[in-house]
Amino acid sequence: MPYSVRFAPLRPSFRGARSGLAICLIAGLAATGCSRSDNASKTAAAPAPREVGVVTLRPERLAFNTELSGRTVAPVIAEIRPQVGGIVQKRLFNEGSLVKAGQALYQLDPAPFQASYASAQANVRKAESTAATARTVAQRNRELVKIDAISQQVNESTLAAAQQAEADVAVARAAEQTARINLGYTRINSPITGWVELSSVTPGALVTANQTTALTTVQQLDPVYVHVTQSSAELLRLKRDLAEGRLERGKADEAPIRLLLEDGSVYPHPGRLTFAGVTVDAGTGSVTLRAVVPNPDRLLMPGMYVRAVLQEGVNDAALLVPQQAVTRAPDGSASTLVVGADDKVARRPIKVGRAVGNRWQLLEGLAAGDRVLVEGSQRARVGDTVRASEVAAPAGAARPAPAASATKSPASGSPGPVASAAPAPSAAPPSTTAMR
């Protein structure tokens, strides 16, 4: 019986294939992973330097200016008061005008004083006549006593009467002079040349001698005084800086001062400091300073509030750090980031003084030539290697003192502006912030 053979279809087994495929995939991934790990390690080992901006510190000529509040004061003030009583007949000036020394301002009624003067003149003539008669009698008796025609007692009496008559003449003449002076006082004159204020009386008003209320006031307005105050602590700081050589003392005969008016405008005429008080006010702890300022246009009036800008001294080699590069700690200490010669970032503790616009005056911690990081501090950390590029110094400096002008820089000899310094804040910021 023949046999029939049936062939079943072949079914491939994927178990072994799957195992091989898995092995191949694992090997491939392992190789790829190893390659990527090597590349990442190489990248982490040599990161690209980050771009930052720096400002190189250079010495600058810095003029230290202090802005102080003050009031204008007339150097000479004459309060016009009557020296005799009477009725005001005329006002002889225009209010607010310039009057000369000796110019008549008021005319009082002179009639009673003229009468007194005439009476005094008559008394003088009477006394002189009596004295002449007494002298004649005394001279005659002096001759008669020599021949014993009269007694010695009579001669001495007539001599005494003559001397008394001479004394009466002197009294009468003094009374005449007093009457003449009082008559002159009826015409009230200005004792100084200056600008006259409003009149407090009108014609017909009754005034008395040496009254407390002034009839008007005459003031000299060119030049004017400006009285300002400066704290004793600021004076001590200035003297200490001068003693340590941080400031250059100016010439003794040059103490310039500029004024800022109430509207913020600069007064066009510079003044000069002429007086500094030697006593500290116990109540305010300040010293009074006086300056003389020309006032040809009468723009300054007595009692006006002004701000005086005083130049304290000059530092020819000052270093200024941008404020955005300075960081304050909670304890008030300041620090900044610098880029060293190896292009690595480092933090330096510094000590700053006054604010000069948007920069700080550097006292300690850095030197000329150091590169201060001002841009990119968020991308760079201490110890990182960076690629530094010089950026322009921060613009927007503080408003310079009006007296500051272009001077020659001691380093290059080319003209350059003199920076002005304002007082530094007395307290540090309460938290750690980078001023940017």
What is the token pair recorded at 320? 């200024």
Residues 365 and 306 in one domain: no
Q: How confident is the model at residue 118 (pLDDT cuts 50, 70, 90)?
A: very high
Chain centre to alpha carbon of residue 305: 12
Residue showing tokens 């002179």: 110
Question: Distance between CA 436 and CA 425 in Å, rounded?
Answer: 17
pLDDT band at 384 (very low <50, low <70, confident <90, very high): confident
Asked if 228 and 193 sit in the same domain, the reply is no
Domain count, the chain: 4
Residue type at position 169: V
Output the CA angle 132-134-137, nearest 5 degrees.
Answer: 110
Q: Supply the CATH number for residue 380's domain.
A: 2.40.420.20
Q: Which of 177, 200, 216 is the last residue of a domain?
A: 216
State how far the Cα of 212 lies from the Cα of 202, in Å rounded to an integer.
Answer: 17
Of the pLDDT bands very low, low, confident and very high (cuts 50, 70, 90), residue 213 is very high
State mean pLDDT over 352-372.
87
- Indicate if 372 and 351 belong to the same structural domain: yes
Domain assignment of residue 3, yes or no: no
pLDDT, position 210: 85
User: Average pLDDT of 226-250?
Assistant: 72
Q: For residue 135, tell me if it sits in a domain.
A: yes
Among the candidates 313, 348, 375, a domain finishes at 313
Q: Let me know if residue 101 belongs to a domain.
A: yes
Q: State the CATH number of the domain containing residue 287.
A: 2.40.30.170
User: Whole domain around residue 356: which residue ranges?
Assistant: 50-64+316-421
Check whether residue 406 and residue 367 sit in a common domain: yes
Under the banding of pLDDT at 50, 70 and 90, the label for residue 381 is confident
How far apart (Å, rounded) are the C-alpha atoms in residues 73 and 67? 18
CATH number of the CATH domain containing 173? 1.10.287.470
CATH classification at residue 87: 2.40.50.100
Parallel, antiparallel, or unpaired for β 60-73 and 419-421? Answer: parallel
Q: Which residue has the higher pLDDT, 234 or 368?
A: 368
Contact 106, 343 (CB under 8 A): no
Averaged pLDDT of the chain = 78
Does residue 39 fall inside a structural domain? no
Which position has the higher pLDDT, 322 or 274? 322
Are residues 246 and 177 part of one domain? no
Task: Express each pLDDT in 400-409 by its tens digit.
Answer: 333 333 333 3
Q: Let me know if residue 26 belongs to a domain.
A: no
The answer on pLDDT for 41 being more than 60 is: no
Angle between helices 152-185 and 111-144 (to 10 degrees): 160
Question: Where does the pLDDT of residue 275 fall: very low under 50, low under 70, confident under 90, or very high at 90 and above?
Answer: low
Same domain, 157 and 272: no
Residue 206 carries which side chain, given as an amino acid letter? Answer: L
Assess whether pLDDT exceeds 90 at residue 417.
no
Backbone angles phi, psi at 289, to 5 degrees: -115, 145
Between strands 104-108 and 187-189, the pairing is: antiparallel
Task: Output the pLDDT for position 179.
Answer: 95
Residue 182 pLDDT exceeds 80: yes
CA distances from 149 to 70, 136, 138, 141, 158 (A): 87, 17, 14, 9, 14
